[in-house]
Each structure stands twice: as structure tokens, then as C-alpha cells.
Amino acid sequence: MIQLQSQDKPITISKQALQRMPYYIQHLRTMHKNGIAIIAAPALAAALGLNEVQVRKDLAAISTTKGKPKTGFNVDELIANMEEFLGYNNIDEAILVGVGSLGRALMCYKGIAECGMNIVAAFDINEGLVGSQICGKYVFHMDELIEICKRLNVRIGIITVPADQAQGVCDKMVESGILAIWNFAPSHLRTPENILVQNENMAASLAMLSKHLGEKLTR
Amino acid sequence: MIQLQSQDKPITISKQALQRMPYYIQHLRTMHKNGIAIIAAPALAAALGLNEVQVRKDLAAISTTKGKPKTGFNVDELIANMEEFLGYNNIDEAILVGVGSLGRALMCYKGIAECGMNIVAAFDINEGLVGSQICGKYVFHMDELIEICKRLNVRIGIITVPADQAQGVCDKMVESGILAIWNFAPSHLRTPENILVQNENMAASLAMLSKHLGEKLTR
DNA sequence: TAGATTGTTAATCGATTAACAATC
DNA sequence: TAGATTGTTAATCGATTAACAATC
């Protein structure tokens, strides 16, 4: 469970509920574009393939206004509430370590900026990359990581190095004052317990796909 | 729950357990490199920050040999069993739609090949990209999707287009005989029920990071 | 009022963890 | 044998879903 401390009421929301939020936002934005002003939980549930009650609870958790029986919720207000809740408005600055194909892609990926994250600098050990710019962001040498992080007061680190180097990078990030790590390497990172590690586990996704396919094809 | 049908015994494993497998593999490979031949569940659990019993159950599910009390499991055998189980050996072919920064990165990303997936072709509607090659893979026009998929008998599709185009691409993939979809767009895809959609929800990860940070900094 | 929708309390479900007997 | 580790059965935990009263 994740405890939120807003001005007036403490909001409690499950990890899973939090992860559903971006889907709600995406769908609500589409509705907004199409000029739809009101949405009811059952309709939203149907559109996203979720359970009605689950949606109602999720909305209740973040909505500042109660839903109206027989009517539903105001689309624009929900969008605003969710964006506020997820912090899409206050931009978080991040640094990235590992300027390979994946790292480069993230530096250029607009989807990240849309979620309120700004990658301010990248780091690598490859001298050939150091000093270059990728999508307007400078690449520095790893040796400068700690100094630059402290100077810019960056709190989020993105790891896109090979698995066997991830732990080393992680340790340096922790030393630099990084509080949350987005880890794309398929390795478990050991960290002090107040640091959040969010694993983007592509290998796990591939495993799911591959297993599903295996079942489909052998039956 | 996911039902597996192997030659001899049917293996049942939870979705979560399946997603832990790549972490086991990564750690076991490191051990193998360091010349360690035997691993016990408690040690593996400690290294990955998991519960002992959980690890023991996961290993029991995929291991062909039983673990030996007081000793543990054979590292190499476990690796082989897991790779076999996850299908890292039999290569799955995939096509990718949406040659933006993310799509391009996936086409060049070695991590994917290591998991037994091979992207054989990419598609886009941008005429400027059609006919070009990215990391040795040709980019075709979307209009050719159905024909090429059917001809190559491809079963996995990767979606890296903007959210508002994802459903359209998805529909075409289903029409092409695709059975499993890896979706990087933050949108819910409606599909016939025998199609697996694996969402790579980066926005959700960002939400987790951002929330965690918000809590850390305001307290 | 009748009916759709809301929000809440209780039941269910799946996965994790604890307790324990079996084994080398 | 003693002790560490295995595998299994039972208890716990968190999240989802079902049932139901409240509301417009």
C-alpha cells in the first residue's frame, strides 16, 4: 500500500491501482478530445476491460468530487485530479546512465516528458560518447556522476547498462543522493531500504509472450 | 495461473513466478561465470531479496531434478531448465510496428535476442522510413503488414506507435494472424480473447517513481 | 416513483509466507 | 547423529469481486 499525504485527507491506494491510473488518463483524454463531458464507472470499466467496482474505488481514491448517482463523473475534472495525483504537473528531473540503444531511445522518447519527467543529463564510460549530445541532452563521463547529481540535485536515476554493470551504477547513484531508480537491466539491485527501485522487466514480458505462444501453438 | 503442458508432467506456475524467472537466470548466470556450481534456495532468496519458500517453490516448478537437502541445486542444470522453460532456445519471430525512437531502440536491442526473440521486420506509415534498414532489419509500409505476416507466419507483434494509433495497429495484427502482442503504447487494447496482450507500461513505472519521490520529499 | 449509478461492507480469490515433517 | 536444506500443508495477507444500501 502507498500512503499519500495531501493537504486535507490522506489517500491510500494499492500499487496496482496506481498502475491503472495511466490507462484511465489515456482513455479520459480520448473522451475529452471527442467532446464527451461525463463518464460513469461502468462505462469506463467496460472500455478498459476492468471490473466496475474496482474502477469506482480507483476513482473515489483520487477524485476531489464525489460521483453523482445516475450520472457519473466529470471527465475534465477526473483528468485534472489524476494528473495532479500522479504528479504529471510538477516535473521531476532525472539522469540516465548507459547510452546504448535503449538509453538513447529513452533520452529521445516524448512519452517520458508527457508523464512529467525530464532527463537532464546522461552518463557513459565510452569516451567516444562523452561530450556528445543526444536529443539535446549532454553525455558526461561516469566519473562526473556524483558531482553533477549533487549539483543539480537530481533525485531520479535511470539505469540502461548491461546487467553485470547495473549494481555498480546503482551504488554510485545512491551515493549521489538519488532516491528512486528506474532499472532496465534484468538484475536485482541491492539498495538501502529507503530507495525505490522500479524494475522495467522486459525479459519478464518476453517470458509471458513466449509462454503464451508456446501454449497456443502446441494445443 | 498459467498451464504448461510438457511431455511428462503438467507444470503450473503463477504469473508472478514466471516474471521472477529472468532474475533467477541472470543471477545463476553470474554464479556460473564465477565458477559456483551449487546454490541453495535460501542463498538465492537472500541475493534477490525474496522469500525462501517462494524461491523453493519456483525452483521446484521448473527443475527436472529435485534439490538435495543440505546441498541445494546444480547451478548449470537450473539455468538449462529455466532457459528451456522460458523458451529462450526456440527462437520466436516478431514484427514491430512504429519505427520511432523506441521502436528503433528495440530493433537494435540485444537483450531481446538473448531472450530468444528475433524481430524480423518493421512497419511504419512514414514513406521516408519505408525501404530503409535499421540494425539490419527492413522497414516496410503498413499496407504490407498483413501479407508479410501471413507469408512469414509471424506470431508476435510489437506495438510502438502513439497511443491513439495503437488500437488500429492491433486490429491489423490480429487480422494478420498475430497471437501475442507486446504493447508499449499506454492504451488498453481490445482483442479477441485468445490473443495475449502484454503491456509494457512505462507510464505506470513513472507513476510509481514519481509517487515515491513525492512521499520522500514532503516528509 | 423507478432505475441507474454511487459508495461501502462482506466474501472470494490468488499469492505469499509460516510451520513442520522428510531427507541427506 | 546433528544440522542444514528440501518439499508440503496450513495460515496469512492483499487485492479483487460480489452483494447491498444510499442517492439523484
Per-residue confidence at A198, pLDDT binned at 50, 70, 90? very high
Give the nucleotide with minimal C1' distance to the Cα of B44. Answer: D5
> Residues A212-216: what's their mean pLDDT?
85
pLDDT number for residue A216: 80
Per-residue confidence at A90, pLDDT binned at 50, 70, 90? confident
Asked if A53 CB < 7 A from strand D, the reply is: yes
Chain B, nearest residue to A199 by Cα: B205
Cα-Cα-Cα-Cα torsion A148, A103, B209, A196, nearest 10 degrees, comes to -70
- Percent of chain A beyond pLDDT 90? 85
Q: Is the per-residue pLDDT at A97 higher than 90?
A: yes
pLDDT number for residue B216: 80
The one-character DSSP state at A20 is H
Q: Is the per-residue pLDDT at A8 higher than 60?
A: no
Sign of the dihedral through C-alpha A182, A185, A187, A189: negative
Q: Is the per-residue pLDDT at B82 higher than 80?
A: yes
Beta bridge partners of B96: B122, B158
Per-residue confidence at B182, pLDDT binned at 50, 70, 90? very high
With an 8 Å Cβ cutoff, are B202 and A23 in contact? no
Asked if A32 CB < 7 A from strand D, the reply is: no
With an 8 Å Cβ cutoff, are B211 and A112 in contact? no
pLDDT number for residue B189: 96
Report how many Cβ contacts below 8 Å link chain A to chain B: 216
pLDDT number for residue A219: 58
Per-residue confidence at B219, pLDDT binned at 50, 70, 90? low
> Residues A20-42: what's their mean pLDDT?
96
- Rg of chain B, C-alpha, whole Å: 20
Q: Is the per-residue pLDDT at A3 higher than 50?
A: no
Q: How far is the CA of B63 from the C1' of C24 (A)?
A: 19
Q: Is the per-residue pLDDT at A200 higher than 60?
A: yes
Per-residue confidence at A6, pLDDT binned at 50, 70, 90? very low
Q: Is the per-residue pLDDT at B9 higher than 50?
A: no
Q: Quote the mean pLDDT of chain A.
A: 92
pLDDT number for residue B10: 53
Chain B, nearest residue to A92 by Cα: B210
Distance from CA of B1 to the nearest CA of A (A): 11
- Percent of chain A beyond pLDDT 70? 95
Contacts for A142 with CB less than 8 Å, ≥ 6 apart: A97, A123, A124, A125, A169, A172
Per-residue confidence at B206, pLDDT binned at 50, 70, 90? very high
Per-residue confidence at A10, pLDDT binned at 50, 70, 90? low
Q: How far is the CA of A188 from the C1' of D8 (A)?
A: 28
Grid cell locating A92: 521531476
With an 8 Å Cβ cutoff, are A156 and B213 in contact? yes
Asked if B42 CB < 7 A from strand D, the reply is: yes
* Kind plus residue range of the DSSP H or E element containing B205: helix B202-218
pLDDT tens digits along A100-139:
999 999 999 999 999 999 999 999 999 999 999 999 999 9
Grid cell locating A79: 483528468
Beta strands B133-134 and B137-141 are: antiparallel
pLDDT number for residue B193: 86
Of A65, A91, A217, A92, give the one whose Cα is nearest residue A158: A92
Q: What is the pTM of this model?
A: 0.92
Strand C nucleotides, any atom under 7 Å from protein beta carbons: they are: 3-9, 14-19, 22-24
Per-residue confidence at B1, pLDDT binned at 50, 70, 90? very low
pLDDT number for residue B56: 97
Asked if A65 CB < 7 A from strand D, the reply is: no
From chain B, the residues in CB contact with A46 under 8 A are: none
Per-residue confidence at B3, pLDDT binned at 50, 70, 90? very low
pLDDT tens digits along B20-39:
999 999 999 999 999 999 99
pLDDT number for residue A154: 96
> Residues B34-51: what's their mean pLDDT?
96
